[in-house]
Structure formats: structure tokens, C-alpha cells
Amino acid sequence: MATTPDKPEAKTASAQPASANLRDVASASVPDAKATTPNKSEAPSAPADAKFPNVASSAVPETPAQPASAKAPDTASAAVPDKAAAFETKPNQPSSHPARHGYGMRNNIIFALAIIGILAGLVAAYIFGLERKAQPPVFKPASSPYETAIFANGIIESDQPSGSNINIYPEVSGPITQVLVHEGQQVSAGAPLVTIDDSVQRATTEQLRLQAEGALSLLNELKAEPRKETLAIAEAQVEQAEANLKAARDQYEKRRASYDIDPKSISKDVLDTAEDAVNQAAGALDVARTQYELTKAGAWSYDIVNQQKQYEALQQSYKSAEALLQYYSIKAPADGVVLAVNTTSGSYVSSQGAYNPYTELFDPIVLMGAPQDHLAVRCYVDEILVSRLPSPWHIRAQMSLRGSDVKVPLEFVRVQPYVSPKIELSNERQEQVDLRVLPVIFRFEKKDAAVYPGQLVDVYIGQE
């Protein structure tokens, strides 16, 4: 903004004639010679140029126009410095002020950006408006080979007389010590697959075996009685008892004879004592003879039966421990192929199987299938299409492998006569919906087809 003169000066200027107004405006637009730098808060005053009429009109008060030849009073010419003429802008001469130059450059940039944006929008509208042709499919979609057919989803399984694959779970718990097979390996029935740590069970089995053997030894001892050494001792005790009886009887007879000759030769008490000794010796002889007969007879039959039962009980405990020890070595239940091994050495397994950290569920430690010469396809026919299913004697089907043009003819095997809820075709098979399906099993010869158990396929069921 131009510097505003003080109020008294404004009154003086208003008192001057109209011919001096133009010079006052010119003098007001010229900065003071002492002030070399304008204030930052104040915009530089605009010269009275014809290119900026608004600025000139704001700086010039409304006064009657004066002729150009009119001279200003001497007082007005004295108030304006001589350098004011240097700041007068000539017509058609560009301004060199920085603020006006920056303002013009900014307008040019905005106009350029607007034009670029419009062009970019037109180009984008043209590009997106172009019609794109659909890409051809990677493989030809499956189509029905029959005039009328039923479509069903299927999953490839091992060709089993009943059921699907063989899921092997351990019957004992413990860490895995060794994995003896790998996926795809052909195994025979009874071949070891996985071993579990059996150190504790082996010691328990050995303990029960020794206890059973001890019971058997005692049973044989009872059956082998009497021992000849024991019988000899019993016989010697009988002979000793007889000798003691004879000695006591002789002593009594001597004293009795003396008493009979002269009653005063021996007291009655001594005679009675000798008689009691004879009776005691006779009783001891009877005991010795009875003991001899008992020893000679051998063990009591009831003792033998009791020991026999104890031995049988320990023997059964040992057999049970021995059978349980065999479960620590998991073997193949039948001839087939190892499809999957879901454990490794050091992993802990239980009767629920091996824990899968990805699904957070328990899987069988080994998954086996039948020999791979033939494979089976388990199809799930929608319940609303079951009535259209052909009879088993006229049924035929074809399998299409997803992602290829391979088509394999199928041989009908059987229908699982139970309609169950439709499930997710995966190894877990837990997701259930309201729709129910009927499982139909087909088989085919594998030959060189690149198919594997667990693979999902599309099946069309027709009629001959």
C-alpha cells in the first residue's frame, strides 16, 4: 500500500486546486528517498500505468480531469522530489517488480497443469474405452459325452473292496524313534512302518515275564514233592521217636519190677514219672510217623491248584504286556502303497494320531492305499438327481481331469446305500451343508494317467 499522508496534510491537499491532484498522486506513489526497502507487510505501490487501471483508480481520488498542460502550484512541485519522474512508468513498458512477475508465472503454471490434466483425461478415456478381446481358456471346459447325463464331483481313492484308504493310528503313545518308509513306497503286509519309544514297556514286560517264571518254578516244586532228602529226614525222625519210646519203656519196666518186688525200694512218684515218659515217647512216635506220611504224600492238591492259578494270571499279564510291546512297532496291515507319512522322528504321537500344526487337527500317522494298478472314484450325486440315476446294469460314466483334456472311462463298482450330508471334498471332510448326496463308486485302470488318490475330478454319469 502507498504511504498515507497525515490528516493535516490531507486537508491541505484538499484545499489545493484540482490541477494539482495528479501531481499529488504521483508524489504519493513515489517512496521516500530515505526509505530504500519497503516494509514486508506493505505491498509496493503501483505506478500510474495504463495497464493497471484499478491500481491507478485506487490511488487517484475522484476529481475533475485536468488538461495535461495545466501546471501545478509551486507548493506541490516543492513537495515532490525530483526523482519521482524516474519512477514514472512509460506506456507499453513491462514491469520489473518481483511480486508481479511471480504472480504471472504462477498463473502460467496453473494454466499449463490444467491443460496437461485435460489431455491426460482424454488419453485415459480413450485407452479405457478400447474394447478388449477375451483371452482363450487355458484348457477346454469339461463337457458331457452323453446326450443325457448326471454331473457329479468325485474324489480319487484306492481301489478297496470296502471303504476308501487305510488310516493307520497308533494304539500307544510316545515319541517316534524311527520312520522306516517313505511316500510312494510299496510295502507288504507285516512290514514295519514306524517305531515308537518302548523302553518303559519293554522293562515292564520283562518284569512280568520273570514273575511268571517264578510262579511256574514254585508250581513245579509242589508237583515234584516229596523231596527225597525231606522224606529221609522224616523217616529218621520216626526212628528216633521209636528209640526214645523203647528207652522210656525199658526204664519204666525196671522201676515197675523193683516196685513189685519191694514197694519200699522205689517211690511211687518215680514210678509214675517213668510211666509218663513212656506215654510221651509213644505220642512223639505217632507224630513222627504222621509227619513222615504227610511228607511222603507230597504237596496238597489245593496248594497245587492255587499256585497253578497264580502262574496263569502272571502268564496272562506277561502276554498282555508282550502284545502291547508289539504295538510300539507299527506294521502294514495289508499289501499296498504308502500314500502319506504325517510324522517324523522325535514327534510325539498318541492314539488320536499326529497333531497337524497347520490344520490344528489330528491326522493318521500313516495313510496307505491298495496297489496302484486300479484306482477308485467316489462320486457324490445330488439327492435331487438320484431318481435319474440309471440302473446298475446300464450305468456308465466318464471322468474328466481338471486342468486338462484327459477323459477316462469308468467302470461301475457299487452304490453306497446311504444318503449323507454333502461335505467339503478334502481330506478333513468336516464342512457340512443342507444338501444331501448319494455316494457312487467307480473304478478305472490307472495305466499312464497322471492321477493320484485325493485328487478332485468331474464325472458325468450316463446310460447305455
CB 237 within 8 A of CB 288: yes
pLDDT tens figures, 141-175: 677 788 888 888 899 988 887 777 889 999 999 99
Residue 90 reports pLDDT greater than 70: no
152 exposure class (CB count in 10 Å sphere: 0-12, 13-18, 19+): buried
If you average pLDDT over every residue of the chain, what do you get?
78
Half-sphere exposure of residue 250, counting CA atoms within 13 Å on the CB side?
6
| pLDDT score at 422 | 77
- What letter does residue 25 receive in the DSSP assignment? H
| pLDDT score at 139 | 65
Give the chain's length.
464
193 exposure class (CB count in 10 Å sphere: 0-12, 13-18, 19+): buried
Check residues 408 and 29 and name the one with the higher pLDDT.
408
Segment holding 118, helix H or strand E: helix 98-128
| Mean pLDDT confidence for 433-443 | 84
pLDDT tens figures, 354-379: 998 888 889 999 999 888 788 899 99
pLDDT tens figures, 114-136: 899 899 988 888 888 887 777 77
pLDDT tens figures, 95-109: 455 566 677 788 888
* Three-class secondary structure of residue 10 per DSSP: helix
Among 14, 20, 25, 16, residue whose Cα is nearest residue 71: 20
pLDDT tens figures, 14-64: 334 434 343 443 343 434 433 344 344 343 444 444 343 343 333 334 444
pLDDT tens figures, 218-257: 999 999 888 888 889 999 999 999 999 999 999 999 888 8
Check residues 77 and 186 and name the one with the higher pLDDT.
186
| pLDDT score at 135 | 75
Q: Distance (Å, rounded) from C-alpha 429 to C-alpha 435? A: 15
Q: Distance (Å, rounded) from C-alpha 410 to C-alpha 399? A: 7
Half-sphere exposure of residue 123, counting CA atoms within 13 Å on the CB side?
6
Residue 280 reports pLDDT greater than 50: yes
- pLDDT exceeding 90 applies to what percent of the chain? 37
DSSP notation for 40-59: TTSPPPPP--TT-HHHHHHH
Identify the residue whose cell numbers are 514286560: 205
Rounded to two decimals, the pTM is 0.53
CB 397 within 8 A of CB 410: yes
DSSP notation for 223-270: HHPSPHHHHHHHHHHHHHHHHHHHHHHHHHHHHHHHHHH-TTSS-HHH
Residue 400 reports pLDDT greater than 50: yes
| pLDDT score at 448 | 72
Backbone φ and ψ for 174, nearest 5 degrees, come out as 155, 170
CB 346 within 8 A of CB 250: no
Residue 210 reports pLDDT greater than 90: yes
Check residues 320 and 184 and name the one with the higher pLDDT.
320
